Structure 1
Amino acid sequence: MIAMVDPSAPQLRGTGVVAGYRRATVVHGVDVTLRAGCVTALIGPNGSGKSTLLRSLAHLHTPAAGHVELGDGTRLADLSGREVAQRLTLLSQSRSVPGGVSVREVVEYGRHPHRGRWGAGDPDGPAVVERVMALCGVDELADRAVDTLSGGQLQRVWLASCLAQDTPVLLLDEPTTFLDLRYQVELLDTVRDLADQHGIAVGIVLHDLDQAAAIADEVVLLVDGRVAASGPPAEVLTAERLTTAYGIRVDVHVDPSTGHVRTRAVARHHSRTLTPQEIP
């Protein structure tokens, strides 16, 4: 995996990013920095611009204004697609499932930016593929066709393919979708390990506020396409801020056993407490 780098070094920076679709602006002048060895969680209500911002950082959505650059100041707009793919990778919300292709072959797709013409010149590729399949718990499925897998299994295969790309920046858009509780925890633990042990800069979109509090070094709260707050989870995930952002009462406390912030949303017209997954 990636060699350790200066944990304070910025790896990817968006400055004044404005992005949208046709005439509708979704992201309004957002600044965000992803640093080596740190997990940055993007949170906010539906429609707040989280995924659009992430896609802009991944160079899959061209900003209408502002720019995205690497830590050395190189703008992504000045790089070829291959060069961008050697520096960052994105696990998107949905990908088409190829028919008749094995798990190992899908994971090997992640090595394409490191290969020359006709797939040559990647001596480290096979070892990387085996390592990331084991890391994501799909090594025993290596010869299975991906179109026979469950949603949770497939999500872990896509993560392994992203990790096989072996980049210093990893972007994930709601990666716990389709996963049961066990694999949600294991995936987020893997993401945390990638930052801590390999110095990878991680940007991750999450709906679950407790997951964001548990995994992130920095939380960016987006509301209506603008940054409402950013900083350590304990500073951003306050009852006042979350209640305002989500339009529903959100109680916040610190779990004494973990030291992490915990949130609880309360419905307006009855007393049933909503889980973090049910917060809109």
Structure 2
Amino acid sequence: MKRQPLRLAILEATRILDQAGVASPRNDAELIVAHVLGVERGRLPLIPLVDPAVIEAIGQLVAQRAKRIPLQHLTGWAAMGDITVAVGQGVFVPRPETELLLEWGLKLLRGREYPVVVDLCTGSGVLALAFANARQDAVVYALDNDPHALAWARHNADARVEVGDTAIRLYSGDVADHTVFAELDGLVDLVVCNPPYVPEGTEVPPEVAGYDPPRAVFASGHGLDVIRHVVTTAARLLRPGGGLAIEHDDTHGRVVPGLLESRRVLRDVVGHTDLTGRPRFVTALRG
């Protein structure tokens, strides 16, 4: 059968996803095509023609994505920094905006040898593993209270060790427990957290409502209850000059910085926006 232009397949995939209400139709179309072809997205312009079987495979994945199945569930992976991790049913799918926490944390750690990093509410383990990959000298601890998430995190951690990354120290526990990581009190250089923060009752996209575990998305107390525990835990874990970065809902642009400012031991509280200009995470230093 005659080979077909890849460019037209991408345009058709984009059209279908746009009509289905997918937030980033062109982006998702190109990532699906790259996944089917087994190439990096940036190489797609170098492939003018593909076989009909490729077009069919693209169409099948596009049809599933049009049903609002998360792209990462279709490809089986999500990216953070220079790494990818496996994701699927039972674990929260990492979002691109969380890379901002990684970037801020890595800047803070510059010039610090053998830093201690703690990732609270680790989920798939992607943030902890990204730090371990970028800073091979770091000692990275990761915590979650969901056994399903921890199973994914353990799988991903084992896979990173196989490719030469430093192992992370993965624990089952709850940030509400005032004894969690008590042996690290005053010794940690960086605490990061992407906690459940969406206020209960908030309408969310189908990709979230149907696939992300609710306990990893929603929090009581107008979305702030878990964050309050994270602030308390971080305040005792951090060494002087250590840093804290917490992702939050875009409706929390004032209240979460206020929670950090209310802790006497925390200083230099700064709110940060995501790539769309919405309030997305807050940072502070231990005095």
**Shared fold by TM > 0.5?**
no
TM-score between the two structures when normalised by the length of structure 1: 0.30
By relative contact order (CA 8 Å, sep 6+), the higher-ranking structure is: 1
* Higher helix residue share: 2
> Which protein has the bigger strand share?
1
Structure 1 or 2, whichever has the larger Rg, is: 2
Q: Which TM-score applies when normalising by structure 2?
A: 0.29
